Amino acid sequence: MSNATAVTDADFEQEVEKHDGLTVVDFWATWCGPCRMIAPILDQLAVDYKDQVKVTKLDVDANIKTATKFNVRSIPMLLFFKDGKVVDQIVGAVPRQAIEAKFKQHAVA
């Protein structure tokens, strides 16, 4: 069971773009090995930062409209939204320290 909230084309605007504060969207797919590598990291960060950061996951195969809107060409791709605007991104599987540094940078600021 994931600690991240699953989002879709239908609820993306409400869950992410209208959310106040920091929201991280993990663009992923079931067949993506690197996506599966960072999934447990994001689940743990969702717990560690539950009062500061909303962590969400969007399956790019099932939600092509949103993936296209944000020009997602490689996955995994993490987009960091602050008050509904994209402020940062990470593309590819990176170590926990790199992801957590972005959480700290944007959640506190």
CATH code, 94: 3.40.30.10
Task: Confirm whether 35 is a catalytic residue.
Answer: yes
Q: pLDDT by residue (tens digit) across 59-94?
A: 999 999 999 999 999 999 999 999 999 999 999 999
Nearest CA to 85 among 5, 23, 4?
Answer: 23
Global pTM value: 0.95
The residue from 32, 58, 67, 72 that is catalytic is 32
Fill in the amino acid letter for 5.
T
pLDDT class for 2, splitting at 50, 70, 90? confident
| Rounded Cα–Cα distance for residues 34 and 93 (Å) | 5
Task: Confirm whether 32 is a catalytic residue.
Answer: yes
User: Which residues constitute the domain of residue 76?
Assistant: 5-108
The residue from 35, 45, 53, 93 that is catalytic is 35
Q: How many domains does the chain have?
A: 1
